[in-house]
Amino acid sequence: MFKRITTASRQLNAQLLVAHCGGLDRRQEQRLIKTGATWVTDFAPQQWALQHADAVVTHGGLNTVMDAIVARTPMLVMPIAFDQPGVASRVTHAGIGLQLRRGAGAGQIRERLTQLRGLSTEPFDRLATELARAGGTSRAADIVEAVVRTGEPVLAGLVP
């Protein structure tokens, strides 16, 4: 899949950062660079990278999706397993990205990446505002602490 994404990016003359979470060895990294990736690494500072990216290709993990919303970076979601197909559908439904099956070819990936350029920023603005109002990590910690302290379920809107 990385090779097809790299090929599509090269066809678009786009820079590409591949962060593979330790799933590739040095030889595989070098092959992706030869195929056209600009950078290949195990981990990258995701929030910073998303703030500087025109688009992100992701498997649809919730952390990446939430970070992309905050950064207002359109997504191409290529789900692999678990809840990712549902996340991909939600991204498409919200108008903040597109989806493809994981076996899509480089041409299909290139077409979808080109289509991402036409997405409206309005859904990102609305969703990023909602995420900010939700309180983020500190709000989530408050909710967890309240449940641990009381042993009772807590509705997010009722925690001080």
Domains of the chain (ranges, CATH numbers)? 2-119 (3.40.50.2000), 121-160 (no CATH)
Give the 3-state secondary structure of residue 98: strand
**12-60 pLDDT per residue, tens:** 999 999 999 999 999 999 999 999 999 999 999 999 999 999 999 999 9
Please state the pTM of the whole predicted model: 0.89
Distance CA 94, CA 123 (A): 7
Q: Which has the closest alpha carbon to 1: 119, 114, 115, 108?
A: 108
